[in-house]
Amino acid sequence: MLKKLREDFRLAMATLLSGCAVLAIGPFAIIRALKGDWVIAGLDAVITLGVASMFRYHLIYGRSEASSIIAASFYSLAGLGMSYLNPQPMIYWMYPIILANFFLLNLRAAIIINVVLFFMLLPLASHFPEQMEFFDLMVSIALVAAFAGIFAWKTDDQHQLLDNWAHMDALTGVGNRRKFFATLNKKRSSHQALLFLWI
C-alpha cells in the first residue's frame, strides 16, 4: 500500500484529503445530531461515509480518472448542498473542496469543476447581509483556486520530469531497466507481454 502511495502522487493526495475530510467532518455529524440539527447532521454523515467509501475504493483498486472525477464531483456537490442549506458558515468549506479538486483531477477537469462550482455559488449572495462581504469571499475563493491551480500544474510538471529522469537513460534517451520492468508489469496480464518479451 505504501508503495502505491509513493508511486502515485494523486492517489497519495486523495488518501490524505480523504483522511482529513473524515476526521474533520465526522465529529460535526455527531455534534449536530446531539444538538437536534438532523438534516445537516445527516448530510455530514452521508458526506463522511461517501468520503470513506471513496478512500477505501482508491486504496483497494487504485486511482482512476473516472473515480477521481466521481470523488471530486461528490465533494463539490456535497459542499454546494451544505452551502445552500446554511450559507453563512458552510460556504467556507468551499476552500478545501477547491483545493482537493486540483489534487484529485488533472488541471483541465479541475478548472472546469471549480468554475462551475464558483458560478453555482453566486446565487448565495442574497444570504449575506452585506454584498461586499460576499464579493470579498468570492474574490478570495477565485484567488485560492488560481494559486492552487498553478501549484498543481507545476507539481505535475516536476513529477513528470522526475519520472522521465528515473525511467530514461540520459545519454541515449532510451528507456532504462526500470522502464522495462514497469512496461512489463503493465503488459503482464495480456498476451502483449509474451510478444514484448520476444521482441
Range 2-10 average pLDDT: 70
Mean residue pLDDT of the chain comes to 82
Q: Residues 65-112: pLDDT tens digits?
A: 777 888 888 888 888 988 888 887 788 888 888 988 888 888 899 999
21: its cell numbers: 475530510
Q: What percent of the chain has pLDDT over 70?
A: 88
Q: What is the DSSP string of 18-83?
A: HHHHHHHHHHHHHHHHHHT-HHHHHHHHHHHHHHHHHHHHHHHH---HHHHHHHHHHHHHHHHHHH
Domain boundaries along the sequence of the chain: 2-149
Q: Residues 120-154: pLDDT tens digits?
A: 999 988 888 888 888 998 999 999 999 999 988 89
Gap between the Cα atoms of 108 and 46, Å rounded:
28
